[in-house]
Amino acid sequence: MRSPRSLVGGTPAATYGITFDGRELPAQEGQSIAAVLWGAGIMSWRTTREGGTPRGAFCGIGSCHDCLVTVNGLPNQRACLVPARPADAVTTQEGTGRADLAV
């Protein structure tokens, strides 16, 4: 059977772990945080400021802000653009984030 991987001659990359809301998830080098979450079947990881409506990836190219997450305590990170790194702690972002943004 042909697959995209067989067509390009790719091999699986080594995996490492990140956490999402305390849940351990496997990630591969080069994957965005959104790709890791999608791979785990997680489709929403942010709630809106008004109403708490769930959001996930919308555009997938960093033009919108629907995919915001908190990464290692830093809020407002676009999951579609941020590469997953070993031991990243990703959490659901509620509204504008809860971290101290003072400089």
pLDDT tens per residue, range 22-56: 999 999 988 999 999 999 999 988 888 788 888 88
Cα angle, residue 78 at apex, residues 77 and 79 outer, rounded to 5° = 105
**Of 70, 69, 44, whose CA–CA distance to 57 is shortest?**
44
Q: What is the pLDDT of residue 64?
A: 85
End-to-end, the C-alpha distance of the chain in Å comes to 54
Task: Write out the CATH class of domain 15-94.
Answer: alpha beta
Both structure tokens of 21: 């809301």
In which band, very low, low, confident or very high, does the pLDDT at 102 lie, cut at 50, 70 and 90? very low
Does the pTM surpass 0.85? The reply is no
Q: What is the pLDDT of residue 80?
A: 94
Q: What is the pLDDT of residue 83?
A: 96
For 18, residues 6+ apart whose C-beta sits below 8 A from its C-beta are 24, 25, 27, 33, 36, 84, 85, 86, 87, 88, 89, 90
Question: In this model, does residue 101 exceed pLDDT 60?
Answer: no
Q: What is the pLDDT of residue 25?
A: 97
Q: Show me where the domains of the chain are located.
A: 15-94
How far from the centroid of its chain's Cα atoms is residue 1's Cα? 30
Q: What is the pLDDT of residue 103?
A: 41
Amino acid at 54: P
Quick one: residue 29, left, alpha or beta (phi over 0 = left, psi -120 to 50 = alpha)? beta
The pLDDT of 78-85, averaged and rounded, is: 95
